[in-house]
């Protein structure tokens, strides 16, 4: 039996796991307790894959960014135990009600990068006579693209990329010290586009990851076919203003952009255009306006 999982390698043709570096996924897995109620929750296929690949039944998974409990739901469905952390109490409460007592679960309302978090979780693992986590799955905010809360410890409230990376490194250090030796850690992250510049957030996080003794095993790119179709339909289909109700925030940004163009302040106009694109809106300019 393999060291890290329950997979039967003698029947490797029957193993339904994608080992490629490019995952083309038709659509989000929709079943059981999964919900899209929360901003940018990742697809269940990601934690499902790594839990099957790197853990056995009753092993323990660490999730320091709970969000909508996607990883927690998959650990429950696959018979693994879990410890999760989040700074938002309402998310912890929802997850605790969502995940049944069929598995061992422990939740903590705290900052994942705080040393106190690590000490409390170590105490819990000792009470369970567990040496450490077998797998950690980290899905942090993508810097400040979306604000998730008003908490100062929330990574989405960092004012600069360097501040985000410094704070995220604290989470990585806690995770490293809570894992068993030579076990696995997965980071799910997007890049960022700002001020007409592509910011390789994933690679920057990877550098911090390697800085604290993690060894890079693989980089996987995910392509959601359904999301891609929706993206092109939403972003590039021309929409007349009368067809939909445009949010006030979007109206304000487009008006500011038009005013900047009228004043030949093209740098500001481009910045506002990029901000609109990040909010999934594209403005088509016309002679009489937008």
Return d(Cα 229, Cα 226) in angstroms, integer. Answer: 5
Each as own residue / partner, the long-range contacts of residues 202-206 (CB below 8 Å, 24 or more positions apart, any chain) are: 204/161, 204/165, 205/140, 205/165, 205/168
CATH 2.40.30.30 given to domain 9-227: no
For residue 252, what is the enclosing H or E element?
A: helix 248-262
Confidence (pTM): 0.76
| 103-126 residue pLDDT tens | 999 999 999 999 999 999 999 999
Phi and psi dihedrals of 156, rounded to 5?
Answer: -75, -5
| 3-51 residue pLDDT tens | 889 998 888 888 889 989 999 888 887 776 887 766 667 889 999 999 9
- The tokens describing 181, both together, are 């030796």
At residue 132, the 3 state secondary structure works out as: coil
Return d(Cα 206, Cα 215) in angstroms, integer. Answer: 10
Domain boundaries, the chain: 9-227, 239-290
Return d(Cα 132, Cα 121) in angstroms, integer. Answer: 10
CA–chain centroid gap for 248, Å, is 28
DSSP 148-170: --S-TT-GGG-SSHHHHHHHHHH
| 156-167 residue pLDDT tens | 999 999 999 999
Do residues 97 and 71 touch, judged by C-beta distance below 8 A? no
Cα torsion angle, 261, 263, 264, 266, sign: negative
Give pLDDT tens digits along the chain (290 positions). Answer: 458 899 988 888 888 899 899 998 888 877 768 877 666 678 899 999 999 999 999 999 999 999 889 999 999 999 999 999 999 999 999 999 999 889 999 999 999 999 999 999 999 999 999 999 999 999 999 999 888 888 988 999 999 999 999 999 999 999 999 999 878 999 999 899 888 889 999 999 999 999 988 999 999 998 876 554 444 444 444 444 445 567 777 778 888 888 888 887 878 887 888 777 777 676 666 655 55
CB half-sphere exposure, 161, CA atoms < 13 A: 13
């Amino acid at each position: 039996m393999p060291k890290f999982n329950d997979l039967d390698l003698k029947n490797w043709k029957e193993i339904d796991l994608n080992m490629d570096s490019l995952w083309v996924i038709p659509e989000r897995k929709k079943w059981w307790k999964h919900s899209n109620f929360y901003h940018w929750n990742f697809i269940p296929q990601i934690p499902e894959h790594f839990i099957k690949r790197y853990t056995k039944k009753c092993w323990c998974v660490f999730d320091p960014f709970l969000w909508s409990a996607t990883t927690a739901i998959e650990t429950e469905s696959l018979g693994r135990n879990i410890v999760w952390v989040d700074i938002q109490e309402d998310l912890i409460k929802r997850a605790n009600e969502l995940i049944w007592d069929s598995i061992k679960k422990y939740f903590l309302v705290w900052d994942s990068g705080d040393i106190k978090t690590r000490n409390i979780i170590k105490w819990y693992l000792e009470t369970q006579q567990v040496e450490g986590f077998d797998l950690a799955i980290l899905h942090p905010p993508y810097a400040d693209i979306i604000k998730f809360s008003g908490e100062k410890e929330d990574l989405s409230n960092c004012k600069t990329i360097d501040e985000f990376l410094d704070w995220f490194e604290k989470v990585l250090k806690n995770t490293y010290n809570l894992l068993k030796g030579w076990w696995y850690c997965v980071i799910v992250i997007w890049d960022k586009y700002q001020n007409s510049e592509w910011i390789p957030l994933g690679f920057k996080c990877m550098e911090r990851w390697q800085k604290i003794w993690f060894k890079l095993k693989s980089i996987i790119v995910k392509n959601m076919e359904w999301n891609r179709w929706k993206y092109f339909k939403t972003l590039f289909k021309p929409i007349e203003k009368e067809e939909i109700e445009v949010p006030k925030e979007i109206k304000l940004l487009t008006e500011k952009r038009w005013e900047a163009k009228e004043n030949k302040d093209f740098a500001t106009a481009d910045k506002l255009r990029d901000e609109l694109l990040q909010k999934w809106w594209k403005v088509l300019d016309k002679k009489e306006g937008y």
